[in-house]
Chain A
Amino acid sequence: MQKSGYFGISGVDKIIGEGMAYGSQIMIRGDSGVGKTVLAAQFIKEGLGCKDTCIYVCCDESPHAVRQTLKQYGLHPLPFEETDRLVFVDAYSLEPTEKYHFAGDDPLEKYLALENRVIKAAAGKPLRLVVDSLSTLLLGRDSQEILEFHRYRLKLRKKEDILTMDLIVDEVIDDTAFKVSSHLYDVIVKMYYAGSPERPMRALHVGKLKSGKFDSSQLFYTIADKIGVVIIQELWG
C-alpha cells in the first residue's frame, strides 16, 4: 500500500481524507504572523513521527529560531538532526551557520542545486521538504524567472515522490506569478484573520485543486502551546 502523508492537524487532515501521496505539493499562504511556521512545524513533527526524513529550508528566520519553534510545539529537534532525519538549510543568515547554506541573493539555479544536493543525501527514504518561506526566496526576482524555477522545481519534487510544502507570505510575490504558480500545487491552505478588527480570529481553508475538489469550509483555529494549530471546531466535536 502506498504511504500517505498528513499535516498532523486534525480537521485539516479530515479534509485531506485519504491523505496526500508522496510527491504532492502543498502551498501554505497567508499573512505574516498568522501561523504558517507553526503549521509547518506540525507538518515536520508529523513527518518525524512517521519516520520520514524532513528538510527545513529557513528563509525568514535562522535555523536556531526554527529549532526553538519546534521545541515550543513539543519536538526536540536535536536527536533527529543527529540521526539525519531532520536537516536544516540556512537560507537566512549572511554567514553560513549550518552544513547547508544559501545566500539569499544568489541565483535560483544555485538554490535548486543545493536543494537537489540535500535531497540526494537523504535519497531512498520518505521525504518531506518545507521551504519557509518560498516567497522570501523569490523576492525581487523577475516573474519569468520565478515561473520557470517554480515549474521545474515542483516537477522534480513530484518525480522524486517528495511531500513538498512551500510557505508563501501573501502579496510578496507579483500577482501574475502568484496566480500561475498556485496552479502547480495539489493542496493549498489559506490562513488568514477573520472576525471583526476588535475581535480578530485566525481561520483557514483547504483547497484541493488538482483533484477538482475544493473545501470552502472556514476552519477557525487557535495556536496552543506544546501542540500548535488546533482547529476549534474539532475541539467542540
Chain B
Amino acid sequence: MSNTDFLYAMLNNIYLGMSQVTSQVPMGGDYWIELSTEMMVERMFRKFRHLFTPASKRPADICRAWIDVMDAQGFVNKHHYRFQEEGDRLRVEIQRQGCIYLEYCTTAREEGLPFVCPRMVSCKWVVSHLTDQPYQVEMTINSEGNSSIGYISPAGLADNILARKGDRITIAGERAVVVSTNTYGYLLKAIYQYAPQILPQVLYQSSYSASLVEYDRVDPRYPDKRELIEWLLQHTNYLGVIRYEIVEFDEINKRARIRGYGSYMAEMFLKHNLFLTPHMTCDSARGRLAAYFSRAWNMEMECEEMECEALGNSCCEFVVLPKHL
C-alpha cells in the first residue's frame, strides 16, 4: 500500500469513526458529520483561498473553481465532476470511479451508519459561504451506476431537524429543551392526576401538530416520500424517543406498518403507574406517525397501536391507514 493509499484509507476510517460516534451519542446523526465536514472545508478554504478564482458568483462557477483548487493539489480529478444549473438548483454529478471516499460511502450504507457525502458538502459549503445564503444538499446514490447525483439548492426553511447553535438546541428550527424522563414523567403524572382521560388525547394531538411542523420543514429536501419518512423516523431515534422500523410501506393502498423499539412512553407509563391496568401507551408515537403519513400521502391518516412494550411485547407495532376506510 502506498503512502497515499494509506492516508486515504485513514481518511475514510476517520469518517466512519465519526459516523459511528454520531450514531451512538444522544441526538447524534448525519447533521453532525455535515457540520464537521463544513468546518474542515472552511479551514481548507482559508488555507487555499489565494488559489480560488471563480469566474462569477454563480453556484456552478463557484463549485468549478473550488474543484480546480483541489484538482491542482492532486486531491480530486476535476474531470470527474459535472455541474449544471437547473433554475435555482445546481445539479452535481460526481463519478464514483476513483472517489477517495468510496470506502466510507459504501461501508456507512452497508452498516446503516449516518452518512453525508464529503465532496457534495464541500461544494455546498463554498457556495453558501460565497453567496452568503444557506444551501442544502439532496443526494441520490446509484450504487449500480457510475455516478452519484446531487442537488445543491437554497435551504429556505428546511432547517435541519436537530441542531445546536451556542446554548440553544433546536428541533426543526424551534428551540428544544432536554428533560429527563423523570421530569417529563412527573409532568405527565400531574396531568394524569387531574384529568386522566384527556392524557392520551393530549399526547396524540400535541405530537401530531408538532410532527406536521417537522415534516413541512424537511419535506422540500426529499422528493421521495419513503426516504423522507425514513429520515424523520431516524431523527426521532436520535432523540432517544423510540427506534422505528418500517415493516410495510404501501403507497398504493395507503397502508403502513411500523415497529417501535425502546419506547420511552411505555417505560414512563410503567414507571409512573399512569394507568390502572397495563395498557397500550404510545399515543405520542401514534400522533407522530399519523401526521407524517397524512402529509406524505396527502390525506387524513390515522394510526393505531396494535402491540405495545408496556404490555410485555418485544416491540410496539403501529398500523397507519386512511381515516375514511
Complex contact A10–B197 (CB within 8 A): yes
Complex contact A79–B195 (CB within 8 A): no
Contact A79 to B201, CB < 8 A, known contacts A19-B277, A50-B279: no
Q: Mark B179-197, 1 if CB is under 8 A from A, else 0.
A: 0000000000000011111
Q: Which of B196, B201, B302, B323 contacts A10 (CB 8 A)?
A: B196
Bound-complex Cα distance A78 to B322 (A)? 10
Complex contact B276–A79 (CB within 8 A): no
Bound-complex Cα distance A117 to B279 (A)? 28
Complex contact B319–A79 (CB within 8 A): yes
Complex contact A80–B276 (CB within 8 A): no
Instruction: Write out the residue numbers on chain B whose beta carbons fall within 8 Å of the beta carbon of A46.
Output: 279
Complex contact B304–A79 (CB within 8 A): yes
Does A13 sit at the interface, judged by CB under 8 A?
A: yes
Complex contact B277–A230 (CB within 8 A): no
Instruction: Write out the residue numbers on chain B whose beta carbons fall within 8 Å of the beta carbon of A10.
Output: 195-197
Does A155 sit at the interface, judged by CB under 8 A?
A: no
Does A74 sit at the interface, judged by CB under 8 A?
A: yes
Instruction: Write out the residue numbers on chain B whose beta carbons fall within 8 Å of the beta carbon of A75.
Output: 304
Does B173 sit at the interface, judged by CB under 8 A?
A: no
Please give me the 9 A-B residue pairs with the lowest Cβ-Cβ distance, nearest first: A79-B319, A10-B196, A76-B302, A237-B194, A49-B280, A10-B197, A49-B279, A79-B304, A76-B304
Nearest-neighbour CB distance to chain A for B197, whole angstroms, equals: 5
Q: Which residue of B lies closest to A67 (CB)?
A: B325
Contact A76 to B197, CB < 8 A, known contacts A3-B277, A51-B311: no
Does B198 sit at the interface, judged by CB under 8 A?
A: yes
Complex contact A227–B302 (CB within 8 A): no
Bound-complex Cα distance A227 to B195 (A)? 12
Of residues 30 through 86 on chain A, the ones whose CB sits less than 8 Å from some CB of chain B are: 46, 49-51, 71, 74-76, 78-80, 83
Of residues 258 through 285 on chain B, the ones whose CB sits less than 8 Å from some CB of chain A are: 276-280
Does A102 sit at the interface, judged by CB under 8 A?
A: no
Complex contact A230–B197 (CB within 8 A): yes
Complex contact B195–A6 (CB within 8 A): no
Q: Which residue of B lies closest to A237 (CB)?
A: B194
Complex contact B197–A80 (CB within 8 A): no
Bound-complex Cα distance A227 to B201 (A)? 7
Complex contact A234–B201 (CB within 8 A): no
Does B321 sit at the interface, judged by CB under 8 A?
A: yes
* Interface class of chain B by DSSP: mixed
Does B306 sit at the interface, judged by CB under 8 A?
A: yes
Of residues 159 through 216 on chain B, the ones whose CB sits less than 8 Å from some CB of chain A are: 193-198, 200-201, 204-205
Bound-complex Cα distance A226 to B279 (A)? 18
B-side residues, CB < 8 A to A, are 193-198, 200-201, 204-205, 276-280, 302, 304, 306, 311, 319, 321, 323, 325
Nearest-neighbour CB distance to chain A for B110, whole angstroms, equals: 34
Q: Mark A196-237, 1 if CB is under 8 A from B, else 0.
A: 000000000000000000000000000000110011001101
Complex contact B277–A78 (CB within 8 A): no
Contact A13 to B276, CB < 8 A, known contacts A78-B325, A227-B198, A234-B195: yes
Does A4 sit at the interface, judged by CB under 8 A?
A: yes
Q: Mark A1-30, 1 if CB is under 8 A from B, else 0.
A: 001111001100100000100000000000
Complex contact B304–A227 (CB within 8 A): no
Complex contact B277–A50 (CB within 8 A): yes
Bound-complex Cα distance A235 to B201 (A)? 14
Q: Which of A4, A50, A74, A237 contacts B201 (CB 8 A)?
A: A74
Q: Mark A172-200, 1 if CB is under 8 A from B, else 0.
A: 00000000000000000000000000000
Instruction: Write out the residue numbers on chain B whose beta carbons fall within 8 Å of the beta carbon of A78.
Output: 321, 325
Q: Which residue of A lies closest to B279 (CB)?
A: A49
Q: Which of A80, A226, A231, A234 contacts B304 (CB 8 A)?
A: A80
Bound-complex Cα distance A3 to B277 (A)? 8
Complex contact B197–A227 (CB within 8 A): yes
Bound-complex Cα distance A36 to B289 (A)? 31
Complex contact B323–A79 (CB within 8 A): no
Q: Would you mind naming 11 contact pairs between A and B with Cβ atoms under 8 Å apart?
A: A5-B277, A9-B197, A10-B195, A19-B277, A50-B277, A51-B280, A78-B325, A79-B306, A80-B304, A234-B195, A235-B195
Complex contact A76–B194 (CB within 8 A): no
- Known A79-B321, A226-B201, A226-B205; 16 more pairs at CB < 8 Å: A4-B276, A9-B197, A10-B196, A46-B279, A50-B280, A51-B280, A51-B311, A71-B323, A76-B321, A78-B325, A79-B304, A79-B306, A79-B319, A80-B306, A234-B195, A235-B195
Complex contact B321–A19 (CB within 8 A): no
Bound-complex Cα distance A83 to B205 (A)? 26
